[in-house]
């Protein structure tokens, strides 16, 4: 079977899945990483310093652009190419033509199935041009997050999810929400978790020891991420934990006043794109990762933290309770509850034995069947066979 994985965002997950799928006998994988000229840093790949033409780039150039660390991780198990749209707008006529050319390139390869990883407005065009090719779609976020919704997004989502194809979601709660919201046939919707994002181990090989009073938030800045609740909780915790350090690292528009945070020695605020090696150094330095989201689906941040055996304190929202086991691999707190978040932070910062126990539990959990990439790849292959 010959399969194309077309990845919109979630590139770290897409590369890991492709690598383990390529190990399956009789399965040939090609991976396409999709960007627009406006957004050229996505997940672990940053193309911002390069001048690149629109369309499908040659494999040799794609290999050079993604860098040696990612190429080392992929181990030449599959082909990987980059595709660029002119802009981020589906109203741009050039993007319609680019979608046509992309679809023609995919059809020329005679794939038995095309697997879309993530969602994009450009898929409206691609679904039309590829309507005779079997397809499945991994849907990471079945509805827009707080602060990111618009009528355009709502229309695009309804257009994307009306097709009679296979769908993969990353938790039971998201499967149920997806079927209900879009009236999709339950028989075509599957739950498959995705594994710890081990690819980040290929960046930054420095030996950095965790600091037992350092906690980390990382990822894209957005209103639903709940950073303001972490800040308020940290101000409570530092009254009992001297030397507390809170690192907040990620790019995005700030939706609240952070001038006092910038001047506060408790907080290190890095509001920009974080290169992979720097991000890994932050993760290694932290003893706990905090995800104080007000709403969520699933989280690549959580899966990256688990790859480094870091306990996670997270809001009890979306599919996170299916991954984080309370008091076993981390802690779950009600969203927007500053007092509960502060208590959870304090408990783990004061009791180092709990942190160590959680780290041992994380190692076991990441090797468990449903979270291992080998299992995930074989389960995905079974789904392919239902549609190809």
Tokens of 236: 């409570």
Write down the residue that tokens 């840093």 correspond to: 41
The kind and range of the H/E element at 361 are helix 352-366
Mean pLDDT by runs of 10 across the 388 residues of the chain is 95 96 97 96 92 97 96 96 96 96 98 96 95 96 67 77 93 93 95 94 91 94 93 96 95 84 91 94 97 86 96 95 95 97 97 94 86 95 94
Cα distance between residue 157 and residue 149, in whole Å: 11
Query: 10 Å Cβ neighbour count for 65?
Result: 20
- Domain 200-366 fold: Rossmann fold (3.40.50)
Tokens of 77: 């198990």
Task: Confirm whether 2-195+372-387 and 200-366 share one CATH topology.
Answer: yes
The pLDDT score that the predictor gives to residue 149 is 58
The pLDDT score that the predictor gives to residue 14 is 96
Cα distance between residue 388 and residue 384, in whole Å: 6
Please report which residue ranges of 67-216 form alpha helices under DSSP H: 68-74, 93-108, 122-129, 151-160, 172-182
Write down the residue that tokens 């299916």 correspond to: 322
The pLDDT score that the predictor gives to residue 298 is 76
Write down the residue that tokens 């190692």 correspond to: 363
Largest interatomic CA distance in the chain: 64
Instruction: Classify domain 2-195+372-387 at the CATH class level.
Output: alpha beta
Domain boundaries, the chain: 2-195+372-387, 200-366
CA dihedral 116, 122, 125, 130 (to 10 degrees): -20
- The helix-helix angle for 122-129 and 93-108 (nearest 10°) equals 40
């Amino acid at each position: 079977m010959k399969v194309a994985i077309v990845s919109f965002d979630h590139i770290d997950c897409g590369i890991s899945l492709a690598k383990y799928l390529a190990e399956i006998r009789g399965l040939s994988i090609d991976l396409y990483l999709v960007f627009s000229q406006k957004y050229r840093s996505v997940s672990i790949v940053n193309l911002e310093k390069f001048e690149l033409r629109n369309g499908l780039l040659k494999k040799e150039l794609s290999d050079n652009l993604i860098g040696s660390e990612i190429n080392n991780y992929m181990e030449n198990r599959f082909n990987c190419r980059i595709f660029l749209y002119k802009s981020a707008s589906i109203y741009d006529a050039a993007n319609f033509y680019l979608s046509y050319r992309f679809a023609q390139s995919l059809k020329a390869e005679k794939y038995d199935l095309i697997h879309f990883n993530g969602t994009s407005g450009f898929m409206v065009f691609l679904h039309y041009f590829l309507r005779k090719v079997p397809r499945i779609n991994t849907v990471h976020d079945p509805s827009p997050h707080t602060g990111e919704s618009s009528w355009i997004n709502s229309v695009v989502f309804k257009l994307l999810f009306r097709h009679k194809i296979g769908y993969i979601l990353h938790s039971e709660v998201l499967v149920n929400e997806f079927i209900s919201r879009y009236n999709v046939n339950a028989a075509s919707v599957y739950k498959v978790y995705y594994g710890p994002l081990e690819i980040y181990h290929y960046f930054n090989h420095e030996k950095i020891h965790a600091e037992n009073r350092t906690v980390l938030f990382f990822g894209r800045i957005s209103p639903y991420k709940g950073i303001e609740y972490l800040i308020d909780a940290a101000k409570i915790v530092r009254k009992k934990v001297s030397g507390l350090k809170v690192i907040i690292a990620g790019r995005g528009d700030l939706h609240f006043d952070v001038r006092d945070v910038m001047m506060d020695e408790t907080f290190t605020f890095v509001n920009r794109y974080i290169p992979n090696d720097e991000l890994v150094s932050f993760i290694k330095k932290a003893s706990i990762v905090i995800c104080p989201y007000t709403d969520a689906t699933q989280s690549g941040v959580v899966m990256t933290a688990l790859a480094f055996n870091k306990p996670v304190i997270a809001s009890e929202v979306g599919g996170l309770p299916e991954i984080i086991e309370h008091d076993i691999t981390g802690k779950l707190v009600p969203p927007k509850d500053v007092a509960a978040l502060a208590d959870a932070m304090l408990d783990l910062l004061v009791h180092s034995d709990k942190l160590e126990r959680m780290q041992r539990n994380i190692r076991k959990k990441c090797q468990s069947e449903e979270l291992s990439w080998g299992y995930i790849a074989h389960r995905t292959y079974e789904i392919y066979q239902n549609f190809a």
